[in-house]
Structures are given as C-alpha cells and as structure tokens.
Structure 1
C-alpha cells in the first residue's frame, strides 16, 4: 500500500506539473514578451554590497528593510533571502542571503536577479506580471535536475520542465526551484497547484534560474545562486524571503 500510495502521489505531481510551471513562468506571454529589454542577466556578487543594501558587518537587522516588513520576519528565522528590487516598475533586483550568527546577520552571498517584468505589487493577482511584496517562508524545493544536496525537502521531477512552446532561453528556468510560500500549501511539492486564497490571487511563485529578463512573478537568479541557496537553506533555521522594491522594503 505504501508503494501504491507513493506512485499515486508521483502521478498527481506529474499531472499538476505543467499547470504550475505555466503559472510560475507565465507561459508564452511572459517568456516571449519579456524580452532582453527587461534587463541583461547579472552575475554573482558574493562579496559586494547589495544594490540598496548596507555592507555593515554583522548588522542587527536585515539592511534596508524597514519596521513594517521587519516586524513580519518570524523571531525564529535565522536565514533570510532578501530580494532588493530596483524600483516598483523594474524587473531588475539583487538577491542577498543572510544568516544570523551570534553577532548579528552575516552576508553569505549576493547575486544579480530578476523579478516580475512589470515590477512589484502589494496586491498581487494572477496575470499582473508583478512580484508580491512581503515576507514569506521557504519550506519546499525541487527541480528538473537531481537534488544537489538540498536541506529543504526536494521534489525531483521532469514535470518541472517548461512547456515546449516557450522560447529556448527559458528551457532551464526550473532546473532548480525553491517555492515561495505565497498562496500555497506549506510542506507540499512546489508542483502542488493548491491555492488557498483562490486562483485569482495567483500562485506558483518560485525562486528559480534566471533567463536574462523579467518573470511573471517569480524571482530568478544564476545557477550558482540557486545551488548555494539549496545547499544552505535549512528548515531548522526557519528560512524566509523578504522581497520588494527598495521603497516598499524601506517602509
């Protein structure tokens, strides 16, 4: 029975895969319409200050995040992925990984990134091509490629493969993903299509590989960054993502 149940769950994940992949990447409209004018892909910046982020050693708070969002970071969180968007209508961003040590928050990595191709919103809805501003937990990962040593539960499935009608530049977007817990069930595969707040609020918002331009709502970064996140984010340290444009983050 255990084997049969596992097989049924795998089949359900595979059936949901194309639906969720299309939801995250935005399908042909986003992939074809985003274009290179949304911003060239930016590489890894492991030691430099985040765009809009402080380079202060061991800060007591996540740099450039104001009281409103800071108050939403759970007290138990010891890992924060900060996404610093360039502007409310910009697709360009920087991702910085912070880990809380005895002296404060330590920067562990920084990467050029992209967010929704139309920028950011505090009221995300399906199809708006904007990323949701907020603080969201990170509990589940997966991808087309085999587990690279993730500490989060990892779903390895070909169901993550983008649809064939998407441009070639997006073919590897979902080789690695980390689900952002916006309108989804925590503890489920990133492929789970369940949207507790309803379909209109969007969903399938992930951290995933960058293809050089904006997304439908996800945050994309280089493969080196995704591999680093997967190998570092630890459920025991209660990781969260704090994301938004600079103005909303500072509010």
Structure 2
C-alpha cells in the first residue's frame, strides 16, 4: 500500500508512506501533487464526501482523492526486472486525455486517427523515465480525469497537472518494491479523510 496524505484540499505537497502487512517499509517521502491541490476521484472504494468538497475533473490540475489500484510500471528502459507489469514508453505511445475518444484514459500506440488531445509517454525530459500507472477513472467517465501517474518530478517544488511526483531515486525504490501478486493500491487523501481510511485499514501503523 502506498499512502499519500496532503494537509488540505489546496495543498500542492504531501507525504508519501509505503506499507506492507500494515507496517511501514520506507522512510516518509515528500511528494508534489496537483497545482490546484486535491479533488475526489474515481477509484475502488468511494470515500465519504461532503457536497462542498471538490471533485476531480479533466484538466483541473487536481490530484485525485481515493483508493486506486496500481496497475503497471512504465519507463524509458526497454525492459526492467520488476514484480509488476511493465510498459516500455517507446516512441508513438500515448495516453489519451480527449474524453470524446474511445481511448480516453488509455495508454495506446498512436492510432491512425489521432485523438484531439493526448500526451506522449516518451517525453523529451526525464519525468516519465520511470512511473507508475494509477487506476483512476477506469470506467472512462467523460471529463472525470485521465492519465494519472506517479512519476519523476520536474523539479523539487514543481506541482503537477494532477499526478504525484518525486525524485527518480524515490520512485525507483517504490517501483522495484511493488508486487502485482499482493494487489498494490494507492490511497491518496487529505488529512480530513485519514480517520475514515484508518477505520478501513485498522492494521495500518502510521
């Protein structure tokens, strides 16, 4: 389990913790999140939300709040010996953020008819040198957000467009530790959801 906790909805930074069998396995990691903070996303379990609390939408630069499966690792290396499915971020591989496309929120090889909006998985910078696919909005609900990853930070204090970023060394540590057979999840919240999460996972030792 990867747990990311932000101070409040407008926070652009958070603390990341990793757990196995309820016990913490690494020192906490300071991470960057969305430029606009947090909004409730679409994951495996719905956390309680008041009407006044923000939702996550396409392009809003909010990091999604929720409990999400960690589906795969991606990166620029052709192959890596991991315990997770691996996606080689080769040229022409894209993630589609056009909510009118049949490939919305999917990582695909660029189709003949290009979606109106997408991002290259093989970037000119190091941000996608290694990353983790977060299973947000897997039902592809229109305009509810797409292409959510954990990836390499642009710089130490650079907030993201909705992803969670850290140093390459930190993401390597997490990527090589994650194990598909243990059904890894990301719990991403603000402190106001912490009590609810600790009720769902009472063996967590923060």
Name the TM-score class by shorter chain.
Answer: 0.5 to 0.7
Matched, 1:199 2:117: no
- For the pair shown, the structure with the greater C-alpha radius of gyration is 1
1:16-95 to structure 2, matched below 5 A, reads 80-95=1-16
Instruction: Please say if residues 98 and 109 of structure 1, whose CA atoms lie closer than 8 Å, have aligned partners that are also in contact.
Output: no
Please give the secondary structure, in 2, of the residue aligned with 1:229: helix
Which secondary structure does the structure 2 equivalent of 1:127 belong to? coil
Cα deviation, residue 138, structure 1:
0.8
CA distance in 2, matches of 1:146, 1:109: 29
Other structure's SS at 2:174 match: helix
Q: CA separation of 1:250/1:146 partners in 2, compared to 1, >3 Å: closer, same or farther? A: farther
- Out of 68, 78, 86, the residue aligned to residue 136 of structure 1 is 68
Q: Which has the higher strand share?
A: 2
Counterpart-to-counterpart distance in 1, 2:86 and 2:146: 19
Q: Give 1:157 deviation, angstroms.
A: 2.2
Structure 1 contact 92–214 (Cα < 8 Å) conserved: yes
Answering whether residue 127 of structure 2 is matched by residue 176 of structure 1, we say: no
**What is the DSSP-based 3-state SS (H/G/I as helix, E as strand, rest coil) of the residue aligned with 1:200?**
coil
Structure 2 residue matching 1:121: 3-state secondary structure = strand
**Corresponding residue for 2:122?**
161
Q: For the Cα contact (< 8 Å) 1:207–1:219, is it kept in 2?
A: yes
- Asked whether the 8 Å contact 1:83–1:93 carries over to 2, the reply is yes
User: How far apart, in 1, do the equivalents of 2:6 and 2:79 lie?
Assistant: 29
Residue aligning to 2:153: 210
Q: Which runs of 5+ in 2 are unaligned?
A: 41-54, 94-120, 197-206
Q: Tell me, in whole angstroms, the C-alpha distance in 2 between the residues paired with 1:147 and 1:111.
A: 26
* Post-superposition offset of 1:108: 2.6
Counterpart of 1:155 in 2: which secondary structure?
strand
1:139–1:181 contact (8 Å) kept in structure 2: yes
2:191 and 2:143 map into 1 onto residues whose CA distance is 26
Shift of 1:120: 0.6
For residues 28 and 77 of structure 2, the distance between their equivalents in structure 1, rounded to whole angstroms, comes to 23
Kindly state the Cα deviation for residue 148 of structure 1 after the two structures are TM-superposed: 4.1
What TM-score does the superposition give when structure 1 sets the normalisation length?
Answer: 0.56
Root mean square deviation, CA, Å: 1.7
Sort the Cα spacing of 1:150 and 1:237 in 2 relative to 1 into closer, same or farther, 3 A.
Answer: same
Is the Cα–Cα contact under 8 Å of residues 125 and 202 in structure 1 kept in the other structure? Answer: yes
1:105 aligns with 2:23: yes
Aligned to 1:117: 35
